[in-house]
Structure 1
Amino acid sequence: RELEIVVRMAPVAPQKKADGSWAGTGDYPEWTVKYFDFYFKGHSGAEHTGYVPNQALFDVLESNDPSFTVLDVENRAFDDDVMAEIMEALKHNTCVTELKLARNLSHWNEQGDKFGLALAPILARSKTITKVDLHNNDLHEKAIVAIAEALKVNTSITELNLADNFARKNAKDIADMLKVNTTLTWLNMNVNQMQDEEAQYLLDALKENKTIKHFTAFNNGALSKELRRELRGFSK
């Protein structure tokens, strides 16, 4: 299958540092390096310095390789289109158990609609994914609602990190999900611009939920001192 992302850049190999990590737009596990190409701004027409996924990543996802259980694209500064393309390759995979997708779209000031809408059906039908880290991706209404709906029917995911996104009033959709989900045990909703009304709605849903053992939602927009205290969360 041809890579659908058009890249007008010549790859430059990232350099390994003394501590064993790799230089670039961030520090990454060594095993992930072969799945990405690195480009310098201005080199062969590159518009920015950073990584793009190469064909090896798409191949390993689509081949359902049982040895590939963690999809780690964290802090690669991928935009909405690239993240959606990666989700397309993931959609029939049944071996990946953990999604490390944090800190991508926030670099581009995008809402992540394509990404979120491509991810949601994967979460809805997956029976193998247990951990999902989406923090700092600027996810807005469409993505938040779609993910919440997916987790109403998912029975495998135990950890969800939605910190540093834009749930806002759609925190109510997360709350509605918590009323029916019986698998999730760990939830991070820090820095999601929740005001008092949606914060209270979420906290009320957590009182009904019997499975969440760890919850945190600090640095939101709630004005009530009592709500701010409760949003600091708990660990049971």
Structure 2
Amino acid sequence: MTAIPQGRTRRAALVGAMCALVVTGTGLTGCSEDPDAGTNGVGKLPAAQIQSKSRAAAEAAPAVRLSGSVVTSGRTYKLDMQLKADGGSGSVTAQGAEFQLLRIGEELYLKASAEFWNHQDGKDGKGDADGSDTAAAGKLGGKYVKVPQGDPSYKRFSGFTDKDVLLDGLLTLHGTLGTEGRHEQTGVRTIRVTGDKGSGGTLDVSLEGTPYPLLLVRAGGAGTLTFSDWGKDFTLTEPGKDETVDYGKQLPTS
């Protein structure tokens, strides 16, 4: 059972006592707590305005952490990323393979196991007869591999580390917007915005402080993401030379 914050309990008790006085003194037959009391007020707005304010808050925030799953082009990606204006870092899992991404400015690094690089070579871990592919994968495994900007993988992987690009593509609901009551995410009260009554996705927006997005359920079962650490800065550290491999102009491709 979810514990109810003491402040909310005391507030409810106070409202109940006030209602009793009103009923006793005036003969009125009912009283209820204002669901927007103590909130940022966005719960009173139309759904389109709530979504607009949440997107504006997300765009203005200097940093965010997002985690969960995204389904795109038939592939499911599990993400755990920290993002800010000049880069990002974190982990991505796709088709059972996990890899780390780090972007600082225009420099993008990918860190993965030797098994990952064998798969990228299209050899499924078998390698060439002379073992050269396996040896190459072994040199890349566990190292930060600098991704060349001209490589097709650069655009695909850098998108996971770009706050503006990623949020712009994700924070979208489809169809007619509406609201679906008050909810709670990790102890924070939220208002839920829906697209086509939920079939077009749902977005839980904070009712406390800045109206940041906190939970996104994408339309059509295309993934669920949670957002946290809004505005919380973090450090991006360039890997040392002994941790880095410069593969060249193009990475191995599958």
TM range (shorter): under 0.3
Task: Give the helix-richer structure, 1 or 2.
Answer: 1
Question: Which one has more relative contact order, counting CA pairs under 8 Å at least 6 apart?
Answer: 2
Tell me the TM-score normalized by structure 2: 0.24
TM-score normalised by structure 1 residue count: 0.25
Structure whose residues are more often strand by fraction = 2
